[in-house]
Structure 1
């Protein structure tokens, strides 16, 4: 008995996933930091953290890490402490135990119970209306 079926499509070759850049717990950076891709921060940054806002750049701020300065990154996950204004053009997630002292400008936000915020939440849609 002959059976006819769909031919299997050839599998696409995908790019290898880029390994994240990391700032380890024993590292303290004084000065501005710009990056693209994925940045995992476990240490302390005293300066602004900036990524191209039209990219898929992602910042992961771990539980004992701190940033003292402005943060401008499309995708942000905060488990540590940020002292300064935060701008997330796509999505920000603030986890339980995180501390943000400053205004948060966002497109989408996830704010877990137990997260601490001392500042304003400003939707990019709200900013567009007031401009």
Structure 2
């Protein structure tokens, strides 16, 4: 049982295939990395570094010390660092350490107490619709209407 020697194996070198590359679960941009330019990813993107450009991805997780200067578009986003640009996400979580300077469009939104957001919030459904005609009074000035 213990006297049997394992058969020698020869090392195999294989080229990465497209199917292997598409099976990765996430990509990481480390804290020592700065990227200037737009980023597009089909998987989850974890950002701890600095990005100056727009980001389009399936999911983004932003670290507390990271900085993103550009628009973000994702299915889900969990923001903890600084963002200078708009965010559009189906499911958005803004953590208490986040500082966002830009408009936020979402379907589902969670904000922790202490998060800083300087911009407008709008549900994605409302942001894609045509702007509503303002309610005006007799003189053409804006009027207030109260729902009962």
User: 1:48 aligns to what?
Assistant: 54
Q: 2:43 aligns with which of 37, 42, 58?
A: 37
Deviation by residue 1:43-93 (Cα, 9 ceiling, x = unmatched): 000000012xxxxx11001100010001111100000010001111x2000
Unaligned regions of 5+ residues in structure 1, if any? 1-16, 52-56
Unaligned regions of 5+ residues in structure 2, if any? 1-22, 132-148
Give 1:129 deviation, angstroms.
4.7
User: 1:67 aligns to what?
Assistant: 68
Alignment of 1:79 with 2:85, yes or no, is no
Aligned length in residues: 109
The TM-score normalised by the length of structure 2 is: 0.70
Give 1:18 deviation, angstroms.
3.8
Q: Over aligned residues, Cα RMSD in angstroms?
A: 1.4
Q: What aligned pairs does 1:1-131 form with structure 2 within 5 A after superposition?
A: 18-51=24-57, 57-88=58-89, 90-130=90-130
Deviation by residue 1:88-115 (Cα, 9 ceiling, x = unmatched): 1x20000001000000011110011000
Give 1:19 deviation, angstroms.
3.3
Residues of 2 paired with 1:130 and 1:117: CA distance?
A: 25
Secondary structure, aligned partner of 2:31: coil
Q: Which protein, 1 or 2, shows the higher relative CO under an 8 Å CA cutoff with sep ≥ 6?
A: 1
